[in-house]
Amino acid sequence: MNGINGVTQLAFSDVWRVMAPEILLVLGGFLILVLDLFMNKESSRRLSPQLGILFLIAAFVMTIRNFGLVSDQTAGGTGELLNLSNMLYVLDDFGNVFKLLFTAGTALVLLMSIDFFKQNPEVKVAEYTYLMLFATTGAMVMASSLDLITLFVGLELLSISSYVLVAMRRNHAKSAEGGMKYLVIGSIASAMALYGMSFLYGVTGQTNLAYGAQTVIQMWLQFKPLLTLAFLLMLIGFGVKVSLVPFHQWSPDTYEGAPNPVTAFLAVVSKAAGFALILRTFLWGFSGVFGDVYIYLVILAALTMVVGNVAALSQKNIKRLLAYSSVAQAGYLLLPLAVLGKGKSIDNIWLALGQTSFYLVAYLFMTMGAFAVLTVVTRQAGNETLEAFRGLWKRAPFLAVSMAVFVLSMAGMPLTAGFIGKFYIFLGTINTEMYWLGGLLFATSAIAFYYYFGVLKAMFLKDSAVQSHDKIQVPVSLTVTIAIGLIGTLALGIFPDLLMKFLNGLHWFGQ
Amino acid sequence: MVQNAWLIPLFPLVAYLLLFVLGRRAQEGIVTAISVLAALAGFIVSLLILSDVHANGASAPYVFHWLTVGQNTLSMGFEVTPLNAMMLTVVTFISTLVLLFSKGYLHGDARYSVFYQYLNLFIFSMLGLVISPNLLQVYIFWELVGLCSFLLVGFWYFKPEAAAAAKKAFIVTRIGDVGLFIGIVLIYVATGTFEYSGVFEAFEAKKFAIDWITPDHFITLVAILMFIGAMGKSAQFPLHTWLPDAMEGPTPVSALIHAATMVAAGVYLVARAFPIFEASPDALTVIGIIGGITAIFAALIGLTQNDIKRVVAYSTVSQLGYMVMALGVSAYAASTFHLMTHAFFKALLFLAAGSVIHAIHHNQDIRFMGGLWKKLPLTGWTFLIGALALSGIPPFAGFWSKDEILLGALKSGNTTLFVLGLIAAFCTAFYIFRVFFMTFTGEFRGEKEVYEHAHESGSVMTIPLVLLSIMAIVAGLLNSPLTDHAFEHFIFGGGEEIGKVYDTEWWLAGLATVVALAGIGLSYLMYKSKSINPEALANGPLRPFYQLSLNKFYVDELYHVAIVKPVVWIGHILNFIDKWVVDGIVHLFGEGTYIGSLGLKYSQNGQVQTYGLVTLIGALLLIGAAMYAVGGVK
């Protein structure tokens, strides 16, 4: 694979080995794009999402294959990652776990979207579908690249596709407003991250994180302020993407304005991609000096947990409530990385990655499920306030019970995935003796109980605002989404070892 | 047999799932049959296990691997000890009867099936809590019973009081849960395990993996934190306020959850984890005092309440106080014994009260009752038996258990607690017979028509009453000198004594009986023979005390003024700052940006600039602070 003058010659088979899921998604995207030109409108509308899901499943399967490749490579014992172009792009289980999350998440989003397309004939289905696939490809690049330039390209591919997706309902004022806001704030974030990356490049002379990390350690004493500035600018840029406080303000408006499936995409896939980026960049690039910079992560995590949960208290609109709740979840998700500042042993790093991944999987199930329920309920009620959920128990027991499981899981009730996820993160704070952060996690979760309680109360303890003979029709695609969310949330809550064993046995960074 | 104990919680879980699948329109008969049979099956297995434990003693817990966290593995499973074998039997027995009783009580309710679903879910959770071999599992089921309690208290959600009570119950008990959770986590941090056996070993050896606190202080800290959890669930002062309000739930719920089982979970937890508490004399003192205060405090409130269920509810709080006090003075056997007898006679009193309420069209105010003995003779008799048992008149159940608690308090040297207990016993006898006389004797004071139509309910409601009456009469004998304190020998599992045990003092038993009889006598004079006019007392010299008791010592009002209002005010102030100060400043900058960037005008409103600005200000603050910290700014 060694080329001439440092330029690597790549054979397609090498690329396929490392990037198979990405290639599949890009192919799928283009296929849908081209087919849309040749097919009549009706069949394109019908076929596009199905094709999209098919390619996502294929990518999912290829990712599962990748676990085997990584394991073979590790067993080979050269100690080197499978990579392209001199560590520009790598194949390791860290990337694989996130790719599973992205493909599964987007597939569920597309499943939910089928109903959304029926309700909104003005939406261009093919465009929507291939944008989803491209966005997912961007997310995958963010999880697998070790080079600042490709990382940034991945970030932009995801972001720009997302801006368009939010504004997909063109004649819908709120949708356009949300898209506009996301675009403006997102661009500021990208600019900041890029600015930070340029400082890092300036100091190290490297765009590659694997090699740059050594230089960062050497240069740390000399260029401490500059490198800290680089770290912070990147953190702020990424922080906007995963909505850390105080960079979260776009999210309630955007969540509210975006179509439900797109909101779910932002909440799950886009957020997970942001965390992949954060973990990749900071664990590789700043691993040597992490003890000096972790404190900023701690501050942001603490702020995010507190503000996210407190702000959610006064929300009446269910989508805004979930938006603030998802802000708060970002705080929980940042904790495992933040507490590594104390006690950054190899074991602790694997534990932190396990905690983040477990919580993200739990979060995927409960959020997808909640948004699917929300879609049905708010449409029938004609509004998005908590009032829409009044007496849901009477009108649609399945929806009410499912929603109860999802919000209880978000609140951290035992026997749900959310509890195990939070508890796992909590143990991490105890493990590294950052008790106060654990305490804060616990205290803010207690606050969270209060607003989730509002949803429960509306569903079970109030009389229906709508006549009870108005049975709610749940489309099949949404029923499937809800059922998957429900099974996942409960299964991980009762048998968490199913996933934990898997995560514990991974070669995260190909070790 | 013991290895099959996992079946017991499985039965109600299966029943719950079946009912869930059958849906809300399932026939009442089928719903009841499934539920009662499941509970009965659980009861039979419990009895078999009880006899097994009686013969062979406790066995090691059965655990299976649940999950791996770093180097530690956590397990789930079940265990059978004499204490929880007794609890399993009591819970399944009372559950069976309550499920049967509910058939009559909720007949015709539109959500009949839902009610049974919730009840089955609750029974499952409660049994799961009881057979847990580790603290994490206890916590999980602890939360679940709380959730079921919330659903059942708010079952009649169309009554605003019921919805409010459900919310209050959920939130107040969560305050306790926070303490419990922190306690459990500290134990895990210090000992690396959640298993009872491992935890007890570490506490005995006083070897903990923490260095920020001395072992003795640590034990006290953990014991008190766990006790805070018990205070929430078992409605101990000052977290007792939710329990009387929880009476808004249907009466069978009050009998099962808020008298016999869930509220006893706090007492059960302290008893099960007694080695932790025993290791800290300070914690035991606190527990004794809280229990004593609760016993007398609730008894004093019970004197003047007019709602039949509330009186019984305050008596529950008071009796739970006795049990907690007994644990505080290390009278372990007395406490667990009272837990058992109380479950029987309190469930009986609630169901009998339910029978009365049901007969006179859901009126609960004793001022509008009277003369019901003639109409409801069986209910009257059973209520009388329950009242005698509660008052502690020999040979009824409450006499034997309460006597032992008083004995424990006296012998441990806590004379104050003993006197408090004795006064509370006087009040208890007085208020329960006040209810009895006002309900069953004299003239009916409500609408004539209601009285005419009042009649005894069908056998589904009377059979449970009769069975519980039998237990309320004979259960006490289990730990009397007549049976050579069989219960004590059983609960210690043939091994060492836990806590302290004393020989019966007959003079004390006599004194307690005299005090109880005095309470009944006074009640008779005031409400039956009317030789003393209660109104004159209430409006005369005792007026301040009467008002204090009637208004429950103004605890709710105190909480409102001291906690709720300040929090609301802080919320207002924060809101104000957010709205006017922060927004104002930001707006000031925002306007500037706005003017400077007219090109962005079409973005619907000025907010997006504000957001960008807040992001930038946040970024600048963070970077500024960081630069200052690393010395980049000189």
Q: Where are the domains of chain B?
A: 1-133, 177-532, 551-603, 607-633
CA B519-B520-B523 angle, to 5 degrees, is 90
C-beta atoms of B607 and A446 within 8 A = no
pLDDT at residue number A156: 95
Whole-Å CA distances, B492 to A70, A185, B100, B568: 57, 68, 33, 50
Which chain B residues are closer than 8 Å to A184 by Cβ?
600, 603, 608, 611-612
For residue A496, the SS3 value is coil
Nearest CA in chain B to A492: B67
Shortest CA gap B426–chain A (Å): 40
DSSP state of A83: E
pLDDT band for B587, please (50, 70, 90 cuts): low
pLDDT band for B582, please (50, 70, 90 cuts): low
CB B234 within 8 A of CB B259: no
CA distance A99 to A59: 8
Note the pLDDT tens digit of each residue in B478-514: 888 777 778 887 888 766 777 777 877 888 888 889 9
Q: Residues in chain A with pLDDT < 50? A: 1-6
Shortest CA gap B225–chain A (Å): 14
The token pair that represents A154 in the structure block: 């991945």
C-beta atoms of B70 and A250 within 8 A = no
The token pair that represents B248 in the structure block: 């808004």
Please name the member of B70, B140, B626 whose beta carbon is closest to the beta carbon of A414.
Answer: B140
Note the pLDDT tens digit of each residue in B43-90: 999 999 988 888 887 778 888 877 776 667 778 888 888 888 999 999
pLDDT at residue number A380: 84
Question: Which of A64, A65, A53, A67 has its CA nearest to residue A25?
Answer: A53
Choice between B407 and B607, residue whose per-residue pLDDT is larger: B407
pLDDT at residue number B198: 87
Shortest CA gap B166–chain A (Å): 9
Instruction: Say how many CA atoms lie within 13 Å of A412 toward its Cβ.
Output: 25
C-beta atoms of A247 and B615 within 8 A = yes
Please name the member of A229, A233, A415 whose beta carbon is closest to the beta carbon of B140.
Answer: A415
pLDDT over threshold 80, residue B583: no
C-beta atoms of A249 and B614 within 8 A = yes
pLDDT at residue number A287: 85
Which chain B residues are closer than 8 Å to A247 by Cβ?
615, 618-619
* Contacts of range A121-127, beta carbons closer than 8 Å, 24 or more positions apart: A122/A169, A122/A170, A122/A171, A123/A168, A123/A169, A123/A259, A124/A168, A125/A44, A125/A45, A125/A48, A125/A49, A126/A32, A126/A33, A126/A35, A126/A36, A126/A44, A126/A45, A126/A48, A127/A36, A127/A168
For residue B68, the SS3 value is strand
The whole-number average pLDDT for the span B94-98 is 92
The whole-number average pLDDT for the span B515-523 is 89
C-beta atoms of B185 and A247 within 8 A = no
Note the pLDDT tens digit of each residue in B359-397: 887 788 888 888 888 888 888 999 999 999 999 888 888
pLDDT at residue number B580: 61
Which chain B residues are closer than 8 Å to A336 by Cβ?
none
User: What is the predicted ipTM?
Assistant: 0.78
C-beta atoms of B623 and A233 within 8 A = yes
Sign of CA dihedral A462, A466, A470, A473: negative
Among A259-273, A462-476, B210-224, B455-469, the range of highest mean pLDDT: A259-273
Interface A-B: count of C-beta contacts within 8 A:
133
CB B138 within 8 A of CB B76: no
Nearest CA in chain B to A221: B630
Which chain A residues are closer than 8 Å to B153 by Cβ?
none
Shortest CA gap A46–chain B (Å): 34
pLDDT over threshold 50, residue B592: no
Choice between B16 and B109, residue whose per-residue pLDDT is larger: B16
Which chain B residues are closer than 8 Å to A252 by Cβ?
none
Question: Which of A301, A493, A298, A337 has its CA nearest to residue A415?
Answer: A493
pLDDT over threshold 60, residue B602: no
Helix boundaries (H) for B23-65: 28-56
Please name the member of A229, A246, A438 whose beta carbon is closest to the beta carbon of B623.
Answer: A229
Average pLDDT, chain B: 83
Choice between A80 and B184, residue whose per-residue pLDDT is larger: B184
C-beta atoms of B615 and A413 within 8 A = no
Q: Which residues pair with B450 in a beta bridge?
A: none
- Element (DSSP H or E) covering residue B66: strand B62-69
Sign of CA dihedral A237, A243, A244, A248: positive
The amino acid sitting at A15 is V
Shortest CA gap B610–chain A (Å): 9
Shortest CA gap B82–chain A (Å): 27
CA distance B265 to B123: 13
Q: Which residue has the tokens 């208890």?
A: B428
C-beta atoms of A457 and B163 within 8 A = yes
C-beta atoms of B600 and A184 within 8 A = yes
C-beta atoms of A424 and B69 within 8 A = yes
Which chain A residues are closer than 8 Å to B608 by Cβ?
180-181, 184-185
pLDDT band for B469, please (50, 70, 90 cuts): very high
CA distance A435 to B194: 18
Which chain A residues are closer than 8 Å to B66 by Cβ?
496-497
Nearest CA in chain A to B632: A225
CA distance B57 to A333: 47
Q: Which residue has the tokens 């015709």?
A: B108
Nearest CA in chain B to A226: B632
Provide CB contacts within 8 A for A7, sequence distance 6+.
none
Helix boundaries (H) for A246-317: 250-257, 260-265, 271-280, 290-312
pLDDT at residue number A359: 95
Shortest CA gap A247–chain B (Å): 5
Shortest CA gap A231–chain B (Å): 10
C-beta atoms of A497 and B66 within 8 A = yes
CA distance A207 to B176: 53
How many C-beta atoms surround the C-beta of residue B453 within 10 A? 12
Which chain B residues are closer than 8 Å to A188 by Cβ?
612, 615-616
Helix boundaries (H) for B476-606: 486-491, 506-527, 534-539, 543-550, 555-559, 565-576, 583-596
* Contacts of range B455-460, beta carbons closer than 8 Å, 24 or more positions apart: B455/B359, B455/B375, B455/B376, B456/B355, B456/B359, B456/B375, B456/B376, B456/B377, B456/B378, B456/B379, B457/B104, B457/B355, B457/B358, B457/B359, B458/B104, B460/B100, B460/B101, B460/B103, B460/B104
CA distance B115 to B256: 13
Which chain B residues are closer than 8 Å to A296 by Cβ?
622, 626
CB A204 within 8 A of CB A237: no
Question: Which of B464, B106, B36, B466 has its CA nearest to residue B253?
Answer: B106
Which chain B residues are closer than 8 Å to A460 by Cβ?
151, 154, 157
pLDDT over threshold 70, residue B594: no
Nearest CA in chain B to A250: B611
C-beta atoms of B24 and A225 within 8 A = no
Shortest CA gap B515–chain A (Å): 45
C-beta atoms of A299 and B631 within 8 A = no
The amino acid sitting at A447 is I
CB B479 within 8 A of CB B401: yes
Provide CB contacts within 8 A for B4, sequence distance 6+.
B45, B49
C-beta atoms of A181 and B603 within 8 A = yes
Please name the member of A228, A299, A461 whose beta carbon is closest to the beta carbon of B163.
Answer: A461
Nearest CA in chain B to A443: B178
Shortest CA gap B106–chain A (Å): 18
For residue B273, the SS3 value is coil
How many C-beta atoms surround the C-beta of residue A490 within 10 A? 16
pLDDT at residue number B581: 59
Helix boundaries (H) for B57-159: 82-105, 112-130, 135-153
Please name the member of A397, A446, A450 whose beta carbon is closest to the beta carbon of B178.
Answer: A446
Torsion of CA A256, A262, A266, A267, to 10 degrees: 70
pLDDT at residue number B597: 42
Q: Which residues pair with B307 in a beta bridge?
A: B365
Most B-contacting residue of A460, A463, A506 (CB-CB within 10 A), to test interface? A460
Whole-Å CA distances, A492 to A47, A466, A479, A485, B634: 33, 35, 20, 11, 52
Q: Which residues pair with B75 in a beta bridge?
A: B65
The token pair that represents A35 in the structure block: 């087919």
C-beta atoms of A247 and B619 within 8 A = yes
Shortest CA gap B341–chain A (Å): 32
